[in-house]
Amino acid sequence: MRPNKRDELVRNALQVFYRDGFHATGMDKLVVETGVSKTSMYKHFRTKEELILAALRLRDESFRISLLRQIEEMAHSPADRLLASFDALAQWFEEDGYRGCMFIKAGAEYQESDHPIHLQAAEHKRLMLDYFTDLARKAGAREPEKLGCQILLLQEGAIVTAVLLKNCEPARDAKAAAQVLLDQALA
């Protein structure tokens, strides 16, 4: 099934936003990069912020589905899945064009906590936290909410470190720290 123009525009805009950032990408640049006329773009999205929100929703859905599927293929028990999440990150860090987390970028560029773009970025992180907390609960952690937060914190640190420091192995190191936390939570 051929995607419609709106979906195609969102997918193409997502790539431009990921590569160049949100504030640095104007509508004129999006017109050139996506091949969609300004008239057509404004037909689908009244503002650039509406397009950003659509791109973030698409990224959230596609990224989470892909990451969770990958984790579930790598490990079967909840505890092992918590650790496998770092192996999945390591694979993501090796992808061509890896530029970090789009949601961290969105939260940094739109810092007002009530801004719709900031809220969309925070929702992605909340969904990831819910996933890790659920795994921690199923693994039998004494304080699953705490372990879920700790795993997410390690994930986020690894994501940023993978962008900024090329001379270390953040996914491997974060996984080692997660193993310690998991052992303590299950003891």
H or E element, residue 159: helix 144-164
> Do the beta carbons of residue 144 and residue 137 sit within 8 Å?
yes
Q: Which of 9-13, 53-57, 147-151 has the lowest mean pLDDT?
A: 9-13
pLDDT of residue 41: 87
| Mean per-residue pLDDT, 7-17 | 92
| Mean per-residue pLDDT, 14-18 | 94
Q: Where are the domains of the chain?
A: 5-186
Topology adopted by domain 5-186: Tetracycline Repressor; domain 2 (1.10.357)
> Do the beta carbons of residue 106 and residue 123 sit within 8 Å?
no
| Mean per-residue pLDDT, 122-141 | 97
pLDDT of residue 146: 98
| Helices of type H across 35-143 | 38-44, 48-74, 78-93, 102-109, 116-139
Residue 151 has pLDDT above 50, yes or no: yes
The phi and psi torsions of 110 (rounded to 5 degrees) equal -125, 85
Q: How confident is the model at residue 3 (pLDDT cuts 50, 70, 90)?
A: low
The predicted-structure confidence for 163-179, as pLDDT tens digits, reads as follows: 998 778 999 999 999 99
Q: How confident is the model at residue 37 (pLDDT cuts 50, 70, 90)?
A: confident
Q: pTM of this prediction?
A: 0.92
pLDDT of residue 1: 38
| Mean per-residue pLDDT, 64-73 | 95
| Mean per-residue pLDDT, 182-186 | 96
Residue 33 has pLDDT above 80, yes or no: yes
